[in-house]
Amino acid sequence: MDLFSSIDTEPARERIEELTRLIDKYNYEYYMNDRSLVSDFEFDALLRELMDLERQYPELASPNSPTKRVGGEVNKTFRQVEHRFPMLSLGNTYSIEEIEEFESRTRKLLGDTAFSYTCELKYDGVAIGLTYRNGELVQAVTRGNGAVGDDITSNARTIRTIPLRLTGKYPKDFEARGEVVFPFKEFEAFNRQREADGDEPFANPRNAASGSLKLQDSAECARRKLQFCMYFMMLPADAEPDERLTTHSGRLEAAKTMGFNVQPYIKECLNINEIKQFIDYWDRERWNLPFAIDGIVIKVNQVALWDRMGLTAKSPRWAIAYKFKAQQVSTPLESISFQVGRTGIITPVANMKPVWLGGTTVRRATLVNADYIEKLDIRDGDWLLVEKGGEIIPKIVGIDMDKRKPGAEPVKYITNCPECGARLVRAEGEAGHYCPNQDGCPPQIVGRLEHFVGRKAMNIDSLGSERLEMLYRKGLVRDIADFYSLRREQLIGLESTDDDGLRRTSIQEKGADNILAAIEKSKEVPFERVLFALGIRYVGEVGAKKLARYFKNIDALMAASEEELASVDDVGEKTAQFIYDYFRDERHRQLVERLRAAGLKMTIVEIRLSDALVGKTFVVSGVFSRFSRDEIKADIEQHGGKVSSSISGKTDYVLAGEKMGPEKLKKAEKLGVPIISEDDYLKMIAK
């Protein structure tokens, strides 16, 4: 029989190889050359076939299968790995004179030897090193401190421009270094989605790229459309000689044929003038690139000379980075407008005389908050200094004092909300003002409606922000409970135009049906997400889950004291107070009642896995390897057991992980309560 089954896997192995080759090729053409060789439908069919085969024959699945591109592995922590070759940082400078010095020093050092330089873009992203053995990606590590970095291999596999297996001729064992960047277009779309979901947007593409590589869920990383730009090949001393790999530019050319994404913007230069031309050109043109760069890297091209030139204490002598200065202009302030955010936060925005800066016209820029305006000491009629660094968003960094008019008065900050007129509040120790009129301030109400329908809350996806605003303006939805009394005939034919008269939105019959169906479906959303959807300040997705698990239903939560609320994991005193106050407000209690009457879930659905622990009370202490503490508590309840927070005569077992508290240990021993391990526990529930 064994003989049969081993023969049987052969066709599967062949088909897996064939599918892998095809999918890798289509991926490469699509992501590197912007060319679709097959339809999406055909591509998906091939991928599905491969996934099915790998599920059937897990022993044949390669860690570098293209199915790993979609992610799915979960990292609780990232393993720290020592770099085989330290990732040195280059010396860098903002000064052209220092580039000239570098060039003349190099010439002196190398004497009569013939050599050249390469100039390339310095990507503004996250540096990583990829180890390849026999053409297969085996490890991806972040730069870290240069000596030790984080193993992010499963996330790196989801980046389409990182080849999982190489093509053509390649060294047996080497490291490919490069930068993971978040292209502007993808970054902006990603940030817009975050804002729509009620998440804080990222400040710049680099931070977003770095955060993405450290995501625990690689499937989420896969969705973020990061790119890898290779810029360096590191070969071990005993690498086989290869004529193509004797220069830096030759190595990058060769890397292209192996399947790496190498940007074409590299130039071999023979003297300082050519280097300066390259720098000038990209200082102007960098804004037209699809991703951020922050300078130019200059290297001696001939690899054999690197050892001869050696290292300084920190960086190699054969390379240097020139960093672009932020571009700065000054332009008159025309007015300040005040925006009211969905949480009531006021953001002052400077409206300026339009000015050309770093490839775009700048008209507006944030003034952050009242403190920022005071710190800059902005006066009426001032000219503002606006700066654009490696990022897309211009910043106001100061005042052009030469242009200040004598006797100019400091600009006035508003005292009342521009949307609803309520007097603004500034909490002690906080830099910003906010409008306290939560239930009467239009942008705050619409913001809460948006939060309520969001993907992570009630997921009523047929209601975008324009439609919500329209429903609010027409008086059909004034609060979150109003969604559940919307009628079909109220929706059909609704139309609205925004303030500029440009965008128009209207609802037809089919649209109305979709909206009502989505609202109906939201009644199935579990209690913890309903709780999150309420939009109680400081109660995020995770907090809502913990509160739901602890209190089980809305009535227990509403009746809870501040102390009890604060005793829930991860709920601080401030949050506890907010929750408590929220439910003391009669309007909020009515809102809950209306939602309950509409049929929303106000009770957690208990999952009963078995009755193995019925009648047993547990106290949980310490850290566990297979569960988080909350997970193990939930698990006990799902098997019919009870969890108590302190040890008493009624305790049946103390379930102890690592680092159990010494007090608890003493008490358990004193009362003679049996102490069991995680493994003992697993045996108990397995019965």
Residues taking part in catalysis: 122
Are 292 and 285 in contact by the 8 Å Cβ rule? The answer is no
DSSP-assigned letter for residue 449: H
CA angle at residue 168 from 163 to 173, to 5 degrees? 65
Cβ closer to Zn ion: 186 or 419?
A: 419
**Nearer to Zn ion (CB atom), residue 381 or residue 442:** 442
Q: What is the 3-state secondary structure (H, E, C) of 242-260?
A: CHHHHEHHHHHHHHHHHCC
Tell the smallest beta-carbon distance from residue 201 to Zn ion (Å): 22
Instruction: Please give the helix or strand (H or E) that residue 544 lies within, else none.
Output: helix 541-551
User: What beta strand segments (E) does 456-547 contain?
Assistant: 495-497, 504-506
- In the shown chain, the binding pattern of residues 396 to 435 toward Zn ion, with x for contact by CB under 5 A and - for none, equals ---------------------x-xx-x------------x
Distance (Å, whole) CA 377 – CA 411? 8
Question: For residue 105, what are its two tokens?
Answer: 């020093």
d(CA 309, CA 102): 12
Rounded to the nearest whole angstrom, what is the least distance from the CB of residue 436 to Zn ion in the complex? 8
Q: Which is nearer to Zn ion, 48 or 478 (CB)?
A: 478
For residue 579, the minimal CB distance to Zn ion (Å) is 23
Distance, C-alpha 208 to centroid of its chain: 5
Sequence-distant (6+) residues with CB within 8 A of 131 are: 84, 137, 138, 139, 140, 141, 173, 174, 175
Q: Give the total of residues touching Zn ion (CB under 5 A).
A: 7
Interactions with Zn ion, residue window 35-64 (CB under 5 A): none
Smallest distance, Zn ion to C-beta of residue 469, A: 16
Q: Is 13 or 587 the residue whose CB approaches Zn ion more closely?
A: 587
Query: Least separation, in Å, of the C-beta of 366 and Zn ion?
Result: 19
Measured CA to CA, the distance from residue 453 to residue 417 in angstroms comes to 26
Please state the closest distance from residue 422 (CB atom) to Zn ion, in A: 5
Is residue 644 within 8 Å of 599, Cβ to Cβ? no
Nearer to Zn ion, 422 or 602 (CB): 422
Could you list the beta-strand ranges (E) of 411-551.
495-497, 504-506
CA–CA gap between residue 343 and residue 432 (Å, rounded): 12
Q: How distant, in Å, are the alpha carbons of 37, 325, 411 from that of 187?
A: 27, 23, 35
**72 CB neighbour count, 10 Å cutoff:** 12
CB of 577 to Zn ion, least distance (A): 22
Nearer to Zn ion by C-beta: 166 or 441? 441
Cα 669 to its chain centre, rounded Å, is 47
Q: 46 or 336: whose CB is closer to Zn ion?
A: 336
Nearest residue (CB) to Zn ion, 187 versus 472:
472
Element (H, E) at 385: strand 383-388
CB of 423 to Zn ion, least distance (A): 10
Supply the minimum distance, in Å, between the C-beta of residue 417 and Zn ion: 3
- Residue nearer to Zn ion on the CB measure, 140 or 340: 340
Long-range contacts of the stretch 673-681 (C-beta < 8 A, 24+)? 673/619, 673/647, 678/624, 678/625, 678/626, 678/627, 678/632, 681/632, 681/655
- From residue 282 to residue 321, the character string flagging contacts with Zn ion as x (rule: CB under 5 A) and all else as - is ----------------------------------------
* Torsion, Cα of 533, 537, 541, 545 (10° steps): -90
Binding mask 432-451 for Zn ion (x = CB under 5 A): ---x-x---x----------
- Residues within the interface to Zn ion (CB under 5 A): 417, 419-420, 422, 435, 437, 441
